[in-house]
Structure 1
């Protein structure tokens, strides 16, 4: 073998060894970096997960079985309070009954605020005229002597007025406003995954629709009220009149239950994945 061939082989061997050394060194460096990164980031990841767990627990308090029962009770209270307001209008218009509105379930002590389903100044003016007409008819009725309540409804003018009656003053409980604030507060956390934020937003939109549905349901029900008015039938939450409207309304709450179940299931799946990754 010539001197040139030997030198060529030596050069090739040196370059090969250099490349192997470089590759091995690079691999060691990368592995060291990955290990160091994991070592540094693991405490941060753990702390983030702990904070997420706290938020998830708050969400579960709202949407799990017990929490959802509180939500349905909240909507039942809103429905009942507004139904009482509707029934009292009906009673005052048609029957010789004095309704003390200061002692009714919709007093200021029981509600947070009242929202009128009115969307323009013109609409507001029409509603004011409507309520003024209502008050005039009630005042007129009180000045008329009435015999048997079961046989004598106030004249056709009142009945015609009622057929055009629209309930608009939605009364919202303090309980509902606190619930909504609680949901919005947990939703505002930057630690929550996007998927659960979407579900919570979907739930907020759904409960707003269910509020509007209270007004829609009452207006449908207003034309079906009986000719006889018994005050004890209206006051109680277990009255047959209220139970009928509650059953109809509750059928529309299934959507809320489905979304709440999705939220709970997402959290359970998320915790399971995190546990496996550990």
Structure 2
């Protein structure tokens, strides 16, 4: 029995793979909802106010009273600020928002079979080095989740490579229905370190309530940024990428490819 090979389909996938990176760059740079990552994804206003609040608290609350408790308070606060806001750093950078965004983009596109990350690549090695775990959302809720500690290799072993074909079919069915859910958000070791220090700060019995409230507010902002803002943007990115790739199956493909 002669086996017929569909070369046109093979050529299509080759072209699609060749243009994938350019297509993603095009979406990131030209989509109206992601023109300015610094303002749309993670607004720095809240953390900037937090820094100013810390410094103001140090000068107005601690300085008038040169007691031992006040000195301890000042030292705790100074140590925290020195750790995260010196040598050109800021709280936003210490939280590692940019890497979190880039890592999650690559991983979610891979989950939906819209991209790939080779295990022998430098990118995969970087992710293995920096990823500390992920928030696994329950019933597609933003704030109901399980925190899982583990590397990208752990994720691949436990989820991505487990029942791979069934999971792939699940994503394909959802995509065809226009459903682009984000089931998890990955976070980095740098993010985890900052969150741990921030939690210690907010629970430190030596610090006044005003400072603890600021620390709690930063923590709440971090949760909103990852669980709501980033999650929403990833969902939109998947949707636009899927639609763009789906359009390549029509005559519009040649027009789209000429853009690059």
TM-score (norm 2): 0.49
Q: Which has a greater percent of helix? A: 1
TM-score (norm 1): 0.47
Task: Tell me which structure has the larger Cα radius of gyration.
Answer: 1
